[in-house]
Chain A
Amino acid sequence: MTITTSPATLTNIEDLTLPNGARLVYQHIPSAPRVAMACYIAGGNLMDPVLGAIDIIDRLLMKGTKTRSQEDIAVAIDGLSLEMDVDSRRDYSVLGATLLPEDLDASFELIHDIFYNATLAEFEREKVKIAGELHMELDSPKARASDGLFKTVYANTPYGLTSSVFLETLAQHSSVDEAMAQYHAIYQPSRMIWSVAGPIEKDELVEALTRWLPAKSQSAAPNTHDTWVKTLNAYQLAQDVLLPLPKDDGNQAHIYQGWIAPPVASDDYYPLAVMNTLLGAAGLTARLFLELRDKQGLAYNVRSSYDAYCHSGLFYLYIGTEPKNRQKCLDGFRDECDKLVTVPVSDKELAETKRNMLGRRAMALETAGQKAGYIGSVVASGRPLSHIEKFRERIAAVTANDIQRVASNLFSKPSVIAIAGPSHCFE
């Protein structure tokens, strides 16, 4: 057992491996009203025999076990005022649960039931429901543009599993037996990292995790994981792509532009994170906001994002604008990206950006749920817990040269531009 002490809001995180093979990272917060748990399960879509398989399993976990119907599970969850969901995100699946301390045992009994005894019986019906929800999501032009970006950048890989791709693959998921094999292979304690924060005592938590999550007999895991890791680690776009997505009754053109970026464990993660804040994530002082919204009035919503996954990353820009301003916005994107490459960030702006990032961490880690989620995401992505306490010094160490370097590497690569809007904005 190791104890890692972190400054600020994350202190005394305990890290231990349980007899059943699960890993527990735990922060005792006596003042928190509830216990927050995030269970990260290795695999995610990287182990799908057909893309989307684990997403279907996620849904079916709550739809019936050997002793409980879907409604029984719903009544049990609501009866405990348990907030619980399972969601798969590319590299791993995550069970999130927030509960009252006195309901720990009852909550774990329920988690045990869905992790060990799910029947996956409503397989075909759930596929129909998933399709309906995906159609609903794609009725939003902004969601359609985002969908287009991700599925084009990461075409034919698990990182490109978007709503429209899932709609295409749904029909290929036909075997409940295959789903059951994947379920038992993935939902193993040895694949789990439990990140827990709250007022519960460690011994009580360890006892519950050990009792309710016994080791399962090993099932053969789908063997796609290592192949995808190799593919994604080396993944690059071959050329620029412009993807028009007409929606003729739209009022805006929703424009995304994205580039393949380094993964979360890369040394370049830190300068890129600083660059992202500076460019479009700082808020009202971000460069894109100041230039394209404030000065030119081109948008209400304009920003940048850096999604860093375990084996790759995506850096992207977004703007929602009047269709006739499409080219002005793309020019604006290009100008701001070029500036990052050619003009060193001033000391003042760099210092303000870093203070912005580090100051915001207090709000991002205010609740037990936020703490549990963040700590879990760090270890689940393969980073050591020391990353948490070293984060501040790594950000502080980023220089203007670092930003120019990562900007040059990034923006010299091909990009995908996805635009959803009226047809005339593609003319």
Chain B
Amino acid sequence: MSATLAETPVTPTRFAVPYLPEQAYRFDYPNGYTVVFVPKPGEVFNVSTWVKTGSIHEDDRINGISHFLEHLMFKGTTRCKPGEFDRAMESMGAIINAATWKDFTFYYVTGPNDPAGENFATVLDLHADMMLQSTLPEDEIGPQFDPADENYDGPKRERCVVIEEINMYKDQPWTKVYNTINNMMYPEGHPYRRDVIGTREIVATVPRETLEGYYKQWYAPATMTTIVVGDFDVATLEPQVRKAFAFAADAKASAPMTQKLSVSTSGGRYKVITGDYQTAFFIVGYHGPDGDDLKSTLALDVASYVLGESRSSRLVQSLVEKPETPVFNFVTCGQQTFQLGNVFYIQGNFIAPTPDEPLAQLNAELTTFLDTDPITQDEFMRAMKKLKVAFATGAETAAGIADDIGETLTVIGDITHYSGYLQALESLTLQDVRDAAKQFLSLDKAYTTVLVNGPTTDTP
């Protein structure tokens, strides 16, 4: 047991959680581990642990390892045989899951309160055990094999499950478009260029030792944050969490990637791919502001709403609703926040003989939006109200609150991006939004991928 964690109380810092009556408590322990408690009245609790690694720390040799490891974390610990964690959780009605993305991997349990608090105690105990003591059993991983071998008839365990997940995503048209544009937007060697799920070849052959090494390298106090949301007394609960997350004294993670890499690329900005589809799918992508630039991020969120995220938005009205002869089936846009720089995207679907005319219409609307008819005061006010309501919606559930806080702390590191979100939004001006749109969304900065009907082309 780590003396620095279990025995040394820490004074928490407090921060406001919009729409909740009580502030959250944040405990930053000497070993780097962080726990946030969010008291929320209700019948549901959520416990999640966020690990500051994902595809960002992979290379071509181990692409997909973060995600594969995520699967294997559910396959037993030094205390629990495979399946025991799942059974204990689901037999109380708890929902368990995990997800891997570019900057993080997170594991959560959402469960129902019971009067004696036994559900929560069980969840805390077993969730911590899973995070700290997973054994990654060889027979659960499955033997290495050649995924191109049509005649392979050996045991099929989790390697094959992940390969089927890869196959599932590859069957979705959006995966083809997204992976292609990702490949265009990031140069060779950039960690965001790779598909988070990895490749069949790596999943089929990565040795257990490599997986275990990655687990030990990244699952350590300084790269983990636990968020606990529910109806509880923090003074009683904090020592229990501290005891449950008793890291080994020598548990030490590698330093997470923080260096912003250049994203300039000569890979071209327009690509058409083909497949057996009756409609055409497209994504237009832009590099956005740094994830820790809250003002610019919010300004682009507002711009996104006005441009394409609402019924009255420019693109929905001009491309979907008003044309006499409908061509676009839908269009939307949005922004994703990443540690190494946000991405703004416009995506949609159309039916046309070639992509030329629909993309010309889209470009014309973007020019109007940026230059000849920029965002109006009315549009700005509507967007502001919508973003406030959307934030409130996220605060309605224990899982929603945990997700927002966990992602903020893990990707950005600055909790004021969450606790001060509404104030930051209020301080935006119409000019801020117009300026951000012009800065980041000009046509010469766009990358475009379109998937149209034709012989199937290989995609990344």
Interface residues of A (CB under 8 A from B): 8-9, 31-34, 62, 70-71, 73-75, 77-79, 81, 100, 125, 128-129, 132-133, 135-136, 138-142, 247-252, 254, 282-285, 290, 293-294, 296-301, 320-322, 324, 351-352, 355-363, 366-368
Contact = CB atoms under 8 A, between A and B. Distances in A.
12 contacts: A34-B389, A71-B317, A100-B389, A125-B326, A138-B278, A142-B171, A252-B171, A298-B156, A320-B164, A356-B91, A362-B93, A368-B396
Contacts of B173: 139-140
Contacts of A250: 171
B362 interface: no
Interface in B40-79: 41-44, 74
A360 B456 CA distance: 43
Nearest to A252: B167
Contacts of A294: 83, 157, 161
Contact of A33 (B87, B275, B395): B395
Contact of B83 (A254, A282, A290, A321): A290
B431 interface: no
A254 B172 CA distance: 12
B191 interface: no
Q: Which of B171, B312, B351, B386 has the most CB of A within 10 A?
A: B171
Q: Which of B160, B322, B388, B395 has the most CB of A within 10 A?
A: B160
Given A33-B396, A34-B392, A321-B164, A359 B171 contact: no
Nearest to A80: B385
Given A33-B392, A298-B156, A140 B172 contact: yes
B385 to A, nearest CB: 5
Contact of B158 (A139, A297, A322): A297
A62 B170 CA distance: 36
B330 A359 contact: no
B157 to A, nearest CB: 5
B28 interface: no
B414 interface: no
Closest A-B pairs by Cβ, 8 of them:
A359-B93, A297-B156, A297-B160, A362-B112, A74-B311, A300-B165, A352-B91, A74-B312
B203 to A, nearest CB: 11
A8 B396 contact: no
Interface in B149-176: 150, 155-162, 164-165, 167-168, 170-173
Interface of B: 19, 41-44, 74, 83, 86-87, 90-96, 110-113, 119, 142, 150, 155-162, 164-165, 167-168, 170-173, 275-279, 281, 310-312, 316-317, 320-322, 324-326, 329-330, 349-351, 382, 385-386, 388-389, 392-393, 395-399, 456
Contact of B276 (A248, A298, A368): A248
Nearest to A82: B389
Given A252-B164, A252-B171, A356-B93, A324 B150 contact: yes
B277 A359 contact: no
A294 B164 CA distance: 12
Contacts of A141: 171
Nearest to B387: A81
Given A71-B321, A139-B278, A367-B397, A362 B329 contact: no
Given A356-B90, A366-B44, A297 B161 contact: yes
Given A247-B276, A252-B171, A362-B44, 15 more contacts: A9-B43, A33-B392, A71-B321, A73-B311, A77-B312, A81-B382, A132-B279, A140-B173, A249-B456, A251-B168, A252-B164, A284-B86, A300-B161, A321-B164, A366-B398
A59 to B, nearest CB: 11
Given A71-B321, A74-B321, A366-B397, A359 B112 contact: yes
Given A79-B382, A248-B276, A252-B167, A299 B161 contact: yes
A276 to B, nearest CB: 14
B83 A78 contact: no
B39 to A, nearest CB: 14
Given A78-B310, A285-B87, A366-B43, A139 B277 contact: yes
A351 to B, nearest CB: 8
Nearest to A73: B311
Contact of B351 (A81, A135, A300, A360): A135
A131 B44 CA distance: 42
Contacts of A366: 42-44, 396-398
A322 B278 contact: no
A76 to B, nearest CB: 9
> Chain B interface mostly helix, strand, loop or mixed?
mixed
A138 B165 CA distance: 21
Nearest to B113: A362
B385 A81 contact: yes
Contacts of B276: 247-249
A300 B157 CA distance: 11
Contacts of A358: 93
B424 to A, nearest CB: 19
B361 to A, nearest CB: 15
Contact of A133 (B91, B92, B172, B330): B330
A252 B168 contact: yes
Nearest to A301: B168
A79 B386 CA distance: 8
A74 B386 CA distance: 13
Contacts of A75: 312, 382
Nearest to B142: A297
A132 B113 CA distance: 46
A355 B43 CA distance: 15
B164 A78 contact: no
A366 B95 CA distance: 14
B400 to A, nearest CB: 9
B140 to A, nearest CB: 9
Contacts of B350: 132
Nearest to B277: A139
A357 B310 contact: no
Q: Which of A62, A125, A133, A297 has the most CB of B within 10 A?
A: A297
Contacts of A73: 311
Contacts of A351: 91
B168 A74 contact: no
Contacts of B172: 140
Nearest to B167: A251
Q: Which of A9, A75, A141 has the most CB of B within 10 A?
A: A75
Nearest to A8: B43
Nearest to B158: A297
Contacts of A296: 156
A135 B278 CA distance: 6
A71 B318 CA distance: 10
A264 to B, nearest CB: 22
A81 B383 CA distance: 9
Given A125-B324, A252-B167, A363-B110, A71 B279 contact: no
Contacts of B94: 359
Contacts of B317: 71, 74
Nearest to B388: A81
